[in-house]
Structure 1
Amino acid sequence: MVTSKFREREVGSSLAHPEALGDSNAPVHGTVIAKAARTAILQGFVGSLLMVAGSIGVGWLASSSALIRTPIFIMARTSPVGVILCTVMLCLGALLLLRSWLRIAQRIGGWNPSSRPVLRRALWMWALPMMFSLPLFSRDAYAYIGQGRLMEQGLNPYTNGISALSNYFSLGPDKLWTEAPTPYGPLWLWIEQGAVWVSASVPELALIPFRLAALAGVILLAVYVPRLAALHGVNPDRALWLGVLNPVLLINFIASAHNDSLMLGLVVAGLYFASVKRPVLGIVLITASIAIKPITLIALPFAGLLWAGARAGWAAECSVGRPPWVCP
């Protein structure tokens, strides 16, 4: 039994530090990596579930919601024991998710292609529970609903704040957005309007399209962050772990239901296609990102530079017979 435990420790140490095997480039079988990372993935899944449970008491909920009058929500949001318990579950879940994220990197060790299925499995298991939580750490989703109602009533969100709606406070938006015009592009406004229309103005149902949009953004990031990293000499699996599986990103994008997820997913996909000499598709994707949040307009010049390539410049232009007054 002592020998068996010693061997288990030796295997675990070798996974965390592949150089201990005598060859730092030696591939580790995917099944071995999956087994080593299984505990970390399950712990992260439990952490995500704890955050969902905690959101019952401390997640944002519109005052017009029918859920606020159900017994479990009344107990979780009004009794001291319920509020404290939900707060503890939320904090514990976030800490457990963070620990699992760090732990999975230790278990994977070598960042070879065998680790990517493990990272993707962790991504799904950690992200999907958050799809069912109440909005956490942000009320922006309720501002989306308010702006969607403005669109549905024929009001211009670029000149009217949510306060132009009757009984707007019951929608649950942050007061920061009640007087301010929308900062979002037309594509996102259409998504907001569609969400309000399909939900028949029920706040909880209106959150579903925003969560699906956030999930779509995370999927785009999971696909194109590794590809873009590989094009530029960065380990794609490490980029996936650091840039997409990161709990801060998952919580901010999915649990908070932010439109930044879809915005960023589209712009990263656009930059990738610009890098592989498919500029039209890249520009279309970046333009769609701009139509969600205009701030990504800054990505268009970089898409042009990526399209031109690393060797582009005045010397390259002059080599194809440009006039001397253009190329000194």
Structure 2
Amino acid sequence: MTSQTRRGRLAHVALAAIGASILLTVVIGLLGPSAMVPALAGPAWQPPYSLSAAPEPHLVVALAAVAIVLGGLGLLGALAWLRDIPARWLVVAGCVVAGVLAFLPPSGSGDHLNYAAYGRMVTLGLNPYTHGAVDLPGDPVAGAVEDPWREEPSVYGPVATALQAVASWIGGDSVRMTIFVLALFNAAAFIVTGLLVDRFTRDDPSARLRAALLWTANPLLLYQLVAGMHVDTLAIACMVAALLARGRPAGSGVLLGLGVAIKVNAGLVALGPAWELRRRPGRLAVMAGCAVAVVVAGYAVVGPEAIEPITRTSKSISHASFWKLVQGWLQAVVGTGSAYRGEIQVGSLLVLVLLAWSLLRPASLRSSGAGLSAPAVAAGLVVAYVFATPYVLPWYDGLALGVLALVGASAVDGFVVAHLTVLSLAYLPARVVGQPADLDWLREVLRPQLAWVLLALTVALVVWARRAAGRVRTPRG
């Protein structure tokens, strides 16, 4: 067997794993309410639709675990071996699956129930930035929000809240219809992002295929962003569009502002175009002015109360983050009298700077011979952020993958895919309600152990990046 034949067979195995992963994600939603899928109140004729099969909790969690493992391994294999399939088929398949998932109930977490409740508050005249679902007792939409989030106000930007209010206005008292409208927004954003990335890479078949794997046909993103229906998808769409419109500073600035006004951490992408325009102050001023105007206008509408929840959550540490290990070490050595959040914030910033500096030095993140492009700078910063931040969830990696699809291939692709796979397993599922007691080990044992894997991946990424930079600096004799 020749090496080319072997690679072809491995590529087909990887593609089969991706297909199986996506199919399992669809099946989880199709089966209906379960440990993975929150129930949605409302008339049965309204979308989203499911079989309402009431699957056993262990079954659906196992299906999700297999979907994640197959998706991660299949994606890594496809990025390494897949060469001979037209990218357009993957793009079409991914868009079709995203459309189908919009008609199935969201799975994996209960975040979408919070979105519906925040929109409901707006339509009822309540401020979602100062109130939680608990402040609407007896309301059919707010009542669907799950613990432990019932008292939490919104941490999302004014544009996200506006879309949630539109969905609530259309859905009324029906949780189902409200969620369906939000799912349509979400799926449309995912598809538009995929089409933009595909158009950007259309002149290079290998880059186009890689972009399709990283975004549109990515089984892990279909699982997290589309089936999970996270608001991050909307912000990513704006940021990718902004990077591709950077030749038009006003349009790029408006898109950047919209992305930040959906989710603040997406603002890291704006540093990419800013770097590229650093020697063109007039165009930089136009872009920055438009972006700031959009953000300021949005927050002026919702009020300064919207800022406080964001600053509070920025100091949080997620349970799968390796910074949770650091927090435990500090408490064991120094004492448990403090959460050490301030010290960890400083430490994470230093790690972010180290990672960004290391990633932006190798030529692998440069999309042209002229030096670091806006997408390359944005990719380096966002990848550094998702690896270094103390508060990280699986769907945060979507921004990194969306921007990486715009730059050249490198080992960074594999690091981010592995990071997303591990995080997805750590939050299996990302909800507390409906979980059997004998699966508590997933949250109490597996999740903390996977933090060690994330730490190892972070160290490995730094080592690889610095070695790659050394190879670029050292000319061949």
* TM-score, with length taken from structure 2: 0.49
**Structure 1 residues 50 and 92: CA distance shift in structure 2, 3 A:** farther
**How do 1:282-321 and structure 2 match up within 5 A?**
282-308=252-278, 312=279
Whole-angstrom CA distance in 1 between matches of 2:13 and 2:67:
21
Query: What's the counterpart of residue 134 of structure 1?
Result: 105
Whole-angstrom CA distance in 2 between matches of 1:171 and 1:286:
34
Query: What's the counterpart of residue 76 of structure 1?
Result: 54
Query: What's the counterpart of residue 83 of structure 2?
Result: 109
Q: Which moved more, 1:174-183 or 1:87-96?
A: 87-96
Whole-angstrom CA distance in 2 between matches of 1:106 and 1:184:
37
Whole-angstrom CA distance in 2 between matches of 1:175 and 1:49:
26
Whole-angstrom CA distance in 1 between matches of 2:251 and 2:189:
17
CA-to-aligned-CA distance 1:200-246 (integer Å, 9 cap, x gap): 22111111122112212212321333566789xx9343133124432
1:142 to partner: Cα distance: 0.5
1:175 to partner: Cα distance: 3.3
**Structure 1 residues 51 and 300: CA distance shift in structure 2, 3 A:** same
Contact 2:14 2:74 in 1 (8 A): no
Whole-angstrom CA distance in 1 between matches of 2:197 and 2:41:
40
Count of residue pairs brought into register by the alignment: 273
Query: What's the counterpart of residue 152 of structure 1?
Result: 123
Contact 2:33 2:39 in 1 (8 A): no
**Structure 1 residues 124 and 243: CA distance shift in structure 2, 3 A:** closer
**Structure 1 residues 268 and 161: CA distance shift in structure 2, 3 A:** same
**How do 1:91-240 and structure 2 match up within 5 A?**
91-98=65-72, 100-102=74-76, 104-105=78-79, 108-109=82-83, 115-167=86-138, 171-226=143-198, 235-240=207-212
**Structure 1 residues 96 and 129: CA distance shift in structure 2, 3 A:** farther
2:265 partner amino acid: I
Q: Which moved more, 1:258-267 or 1:51-60?
A: 51-60
Root mean square deviation, CA, Å:
3.7
1:259 partner amino acid: V
1:157 partner amino acid: P
Candidates 29, 40, 52, aligned match of 1:52: 29
2:257 partner amino acid: T
Contact 1:214 1:261 in 2 (8 A): yes
**How do 1:234-273 and structure 2 match up within 5 A?**
235-273=207-245
Query: What's the counterpart of residue 295 of structure 2?
Result: none
**Which has more radius of gyration?**
1
**Structure 1 residues 102 and 121: CA distance shift in structure 2, 3 A:** farther
**Structure 1 residues 222 and 263: CA distance shift in structure 2, 3 A:** same
Identity %: 22
Please, which runs of 5 or more residues in structure 1 have no aligned partner? 1-5, 18-32, 315-328
Whole-angstrom CA distance in 2 between matches of 1:86 and 1:238:
30
Q: Which moved more, 1:195-204 or 1:169-178?
A: 169-178
Please, which runs of 5 or more residues in structure 2 have no aligned partner? 45-50, 282-477
Contact 2:20 2:67 in 1 (8 A): no
Whole-angstrom CA distance in 2 between matches of 1:193 and 1:89:
34
**Structure 1 residues 62 and 16: CA distance shift in structure 2, 3 A:** closer
Query: What's the counterpart of residue 279 of structure 1?
Result: 249
Whole-angstrom CA distance in 1 between matches of 2:224 and 2:105:
13
